[in-house]
Amino acid sequence: MAKNLFRIFRSFQSFVSLPFTKNQVAHPCASVAFRTTFDRTMVQALASFFSPKSRDFSLPNSSWGEEMIRLYEFYNNQCEGENHGGEWRRLPSYNRSLKYASGGVYLSKIIQSKARLFTRNIREPGAAFEYVVFVSKDEQRCVCVFQSGHLLEGPPGHVHGGAIATMIDTVTGSHASILSAPVMTANLNINYRSPIPLGNTVLVESCLDKREGRKLFISCKVTSTDGSKLHTEATALFLSINVSHLLRG
Ligand SMILES: CCCCCCCCCCCCCC(=O)SCCNC(=O)CCNC(=O)[C@H](O)C(C)(C)COP(=O)(O)OP(=O)(O)OC[C@H]1O[C@@H](n2cnc3c(N)ncnc32)[C@H](O)[C@@H]1OP(=O)(O)O
């Protein structure tokens, strides 16, 4: 059982770390170009974990505003391409990571058929969390372009603090997973400095501060897209776990 789970999580980690190449915003549904046979093989292997119909939520959709598209293009243009190694790599994002894994009765404890990733479970594009995460080549930094939707309201006209915490956990958690999957958030410490107007696009940037054995210390800040306004600062501690940890209940 533990072996099965371990295989799945390793696959997931490979998936998160996959060196996906640049996608053109004009063709958001175009399939990715593969750099090497290895990449192609990895993606084919991963097909067994994802339905052919799985939607990559980190590609542009009609709800994305001008700023969201502009920043997506900015980072996407610096992604690894056919003939050059870019500075960033885009992370694909699905609403279910382990749905198609098979592992018998033990896995069914953690893989419920109706379970969906919290940030990707609203059908209406643009209503809640629209975001795309890029990771730097050395994997020390992540940058997320996040557009908040109308369902995320907290104070009138502004984004709910819990929704901001969710995005911080998502970006730092994705970052930690790239470095050492599987992980769990042990501590998240947030200072809210200025409110985020609802509908705005902001940057959520994470940085690996320190690694100590199983511990990953990651800091994060949320700013306006020109960097002039600091909205939120956070520090997070992630612990690498043994997958059997998830079965303890
Ligand atoms: C792979 C999947 C990826 C998916 C990615 C999709 C993208 C979305 C990403 C979304 C991401 C969403 C992510 C989520 O939402 S994860 C969901 C939210 N998190 C949880 O539910 C975690 C609940 N807690 C636990 O399960 C355990 O407590 C953990 C696993 C965290 C540690 O229990 P474990 O038994 O393993 O460890 P230990 O207790 O022996 O401690 C070991 C060491 O750690 C130190 N320590 C422990 N806790 C704290 C603390 N709070 N502050 C400071 N230090 C702490 C401790 O002192 C010790 O240090 P030392 O004495 O050795 O020096």
Determine the pLDDT at residue 149. 98
Task: Report CA(239)–ligand 1 centroid distance (Å).
Answer: 4
Name the residue of 93, 179, 184, 215 to mutate for ligand 1: max ligand atoms within 8 A of Cβ: 184
φ/ψ bin of 83: left (φ > 0), alpha (ψ from -120 to 50), beta (otherwise): alpha
CB-based contact 79:91 (threshold 8 Å): no
Determine the pLDDT at residue 244. 79
Reported pTM: 0.83
Cα-Cα-Cα-Cα torsion 5, 49, 167, 138, nearest 10 degrees, comes to: 80
Task: Report CA(38)–ligand 1 centroid distance (Å).
Answer: 33
Which amino acids bring their CB within 6 angstroms of ligand 1?
9, 12, 97, 169-170, 173-174, 177, 181-182, 184-187, 215, 237, 239, 241, 245
CB-based contact 205:150 (threshold 8 Å): no
Instruction: Enumerate residues 6+ apart whose C-beta is below 8 A from 78.
Output: 86, 87, 88
How far CA 188 is from CA of 95, 199, 239, in Å, comes to 23, 25, 12
**Which atom of ligand 1 is found nearest the CA of 183?**
1
Task: Report CA(125)–ligand 1 centroid distance (Å).
Answer: 32
**Which atom of ligand 1 is found nearest the CA of 13?**
1
CB-based contact 243:2 (threshold 8 Å): yes
Cis, peptide link before residue 182, omega less than 30° from 0: yes
Our answer to whether residue 209 is catalytic in this structure is no
Task: Report CA(18)–ligand 1 centroid distance (Å).
Answer: 25
CB-based contact 225:202 (threshold 8 Å): yes
Domain coverage including residue 188: 2-247
Identify the CATH number of the domain in which residue 67 sits.
Answer: 3.10.129.10
Q: Compute the distance between CA of residue 42 and CA of residue 78 in angstroms, rounded to an integer.
A: 22
Q: Compute the distance between CA of residue 78 and CA of residue 49 in angstroms, rounded to an integer.
A: 28
Q: Which of 107, 148, 156, 116 is nearest to 131 (CA)?
A: 148
**Which atom of ligand 1 is found nearest the CA of 9?**
1
Catalytic residue among 138, 169, 209, 226: 169
Instruction: Enumerate residues 6+ apart whose C-beta is below 8 A from 125.
Output: 61, 62, 63
Task: Report CA(73)–ligand 1 centroid distance (Å).
Answer: 35
State the number of CA atoms in the 13 A half-sphere of 217 facing the CB.
5
Determine the pLDDT at residue 115. 80
For residue 102, the Cα-to-chain-centroid distance in whole angstroms is: 23
Encode the chain (249 residues) as per-residue pLDDT tens digits.
Answer: 455 555 555 544 433 433 343 443 333 333 333 334 443 443 444 444 444 567 899 999 999 999 999 999 999 999 977 656 789 999 999 887 664 445 555 566 666 667 889 999 998 999 999 999 999 999 999 999 999 999 999 999 999 999 999 999 999 999 999 999 889 999 999 999 999 999 999 999 999 999 999 999 999 999 999 999 999 999 999 999 987 787 776
Domain count, the chain: 1
For residue 10, the Cα-to-chain-centroid distance in whole angstroms is: 17
CB-based contact 43:53 (threshold 8 Å): no
The encoded tokens of residue 165 equal: 């915490």
